[in-house]
Every structure is written in structure tokens, then in C-alpha cells.
Amino acid sequence: MEQLISAVMSQLMVHGVAVVFIATLVARLGAPVPASAVLVVAGGLIAAGQLPLVPIVAVAILANLVGDAAWFYAGRLFGNRVMRLLCKISLSPDTCVRQSESLITRWGGSALIAAKFVPGVSVVAPPMAGALHMTLRRFLAFDILAAAIWVAAFLIPGWLFSAQIEVVLDAIADASALALVVLVIAVAAALALRYWRRRNTLMAIGMPRIGIDELHALMATEKPPLLIDVRSQATTHLDQRRIPGAINVHLHKLKSGRPLAELLQIADWPIDREIVLYCDCPNEVSAAMAAQVLAARGAMRVRPLAGGLEAWVASGRATTGAPPLVVSVP
């Protein structure tokens, strides 16, 4: 352990600029690399005169920009498919797209600043900005500003507490194997907590789903189910495909407390009518949460669609709606 820490520190002191660039770039591309910790240590080394300030700041900002720009263009070219890919490998796949979409649509370019400090969203925000067709000029301006703030947020503490950093590093080196055990336990505890929260969420929404074939059969009966598309406005602008007959009522509207007949656009809404909800998020989380809201408000027969819109499309069933629009965000 001592040799490993010494090797890392020696590489940072000798090749500090390259180490900061690579660590930051790889982290921005989505790998679990502690780039922020590298910057904190770099700040301490800058204060000690062992690393140059301007090149470190420059390469850290440049690495942020290169990594974010790669995801921005991926989002521009491939849209929601990129977000779904990112969320499948995320520790919080059920919320990362929804959170990043909410940030971008509500705050525009300034959301890129906040996203830098939100776990699970920082990597998703750039492709979401690209998918929503934020202008390149606005993206670059806000991303450079966001990168500068992010770099400063970790270099400055390292600079201010450089003496303490040396003490901590010496203590870690002296602890040898014990430090490795503590580190492993801390990482395992963090992962276990995230898994526990995710498992509880999935258990809370573990209601029965309706399959594609069953829904298709019900739609051909004399009393077809009421279909509700709970995707957000931004998502439906990006992907205008819709299951035939579905109405769009986003999750937050269902939670608003407004009369169901008004929300569902049906004057004589029968409380025992079959209701099927769908979304395009992992594990049908939004649709399941909406189903719970409707059930709590008196709906007697309500189920999420297993697999959501993507499963419907993959089955070869027909959809309505124009091709995806080009949407610009501020």
C-alpha cells in the first residue's frame, strides 16, 4: 500500500499535468475515477511549489470540456438512446435521466454548472443538452464556466489545507494495509447504501405489470383501456412516437391534486375502467409511480406497461406521431 501511494504521489509530482488531465478526462467520460481527489492533492502540491498552477488549471478545464463535448455530440446524434445507455450502467438508473432532463429544461445552460456537483447526473447532463439541441455556443460557454468552478472547488481546498493533506497522506502511508481495508469498507458501505435505497424503491413500486400482448388484445375489445403516456414534455418533444389512443399526462400533473376527470381529459371517467400507463425510463419507474398515485386517488384497475414504449416499439406494434422534433433549450 505504501509503495502504491508513493508511486501515485511521485507520478503526480513528476507528471502532474498529464495525471490531472487523464484523471479528469476519464472521469468526465463516466469512469469511476476520483478526479476530484486528484485535484485536491494537486492543490496541495501547487501550494508547496511542486506543481505549476496555470497548466494544472488549464488541462483540468480542457479535460472537462473534451469529455463533456464528446457526450454532447453523442446526445445530439443519438438522443435518448445515449441516456438510456448511461442510466443502465448508473447506480441510480431510475432517476438520472429524469433529474438531468429537469435540470436542463428548467435552468437551461446554467444547469451544466449544478450538474457538475450532482452524482449520477454530471455525466448525463451534457448528452441531455445535446439531445435537446442546446446551441453549441451556449453549451461551450456554460461548460467552460462550469469546469472552471468545478476545478476551483477542489484545487482551492487543497491549496488551503496543503499541510493537512501531507499529514493525511503520511498517515495513510503509515497505516499500510489498514488504510486499504478502511478504503474498501468505505466504498463497499457506500455501494451497499445505494443498492439498499434502490431496492427499497423497486419494492415500493413492485406492482403487477401488463404485458405488450395483453395490452394489444385489450385495445381490440369493446372497452379498451385508457392509455396514459407519463413522459415529460421534453421527452415527448424528442420522441413523438405514442401508442395509438394514448393521452399525455406527466407524473407531476397526476400528483398535483387536480380532478382526475380534468387531468385525463374525460368528463365521465369511470373509476373501474382499466388504465395502463407507460414511460421510457428503466424499470418503468415513472409509470409505476403514476399508477400508485391513481390507485391512491380511487382508480380500481391500473397497471404500468412492462418495458414501456420501447418494448411496444420493439414488438413491432404500430405507433402514432411525427418524427422527433428539433427542440432548442435556453
Q: Where does a domain end: 154, 172, 198?
A: 198
The SS3 assignment for 228 reads strand
Q: Has residue 97 been placed in a domain?
A: yes
Q: Is residue 139 part of a domain?
A: yes
Stronger pLDDT, 26 or 103, i.e. the higher one: 26
Residue 172 has pLDDT above 60, yes or no: no
Q: 27-41, 170-184, 188-202, 307-321 — which is least confidently predicted? A: 170-184
Residues 269 and 244 in one domain: yes
Asked whether the beta carbons of 241 and 321 are under 8 A apart, the reply is yes
Exposed, middle or buried by CB within 10 Å (0-12, 13-18, 19+), for 144? Answer: middle
Least confident of 87-91, 121-125, 142-146, 297-301: 87-91
Within 10 A of 125 (CB to CB), how many other CB atoms are there? 28
Residue 286's pLDDT band (cuts 50, 70, 90): confident
pLDDT mean across residues, the chain: 76
Within a domain: residue 323?
A: no
Provide the residue range defining the domain that includes 69: 2-198
Asked whether residue 60 is assigned to any structural domain, the reply reads yes
Comparing 209 with 265, which gets the higher pLDDT? 209
Query: What does the pLDDT look like over 58-111, one tens digit per residue?
Result: 999 999 999 999 989 888 887 766 666 666 555 454 455 666 666 666 666 777
The set of cell numbers assigned to 8 is 501515485
Identify whether residues 25 and 167 lie together within a single domain. Answer: yes
Same domain, 284 and 149: no
Q: How far apart, in Å, do the first and last CA atoms of the chain sit?
A: 49
Is pLDDT above 80 for 255?
Answer: no
Q: Residue 130's pLDDT is what?
A: 85
Q: What is the 3-state secondary structure (H, E, C) of 197-223?
A: HHHHHHHHCCCCCECHHHHHHHHCCCC
207, part of any domain: no
| pLDDT grade for 207, boundaries at 50, 70 and 90 | confident
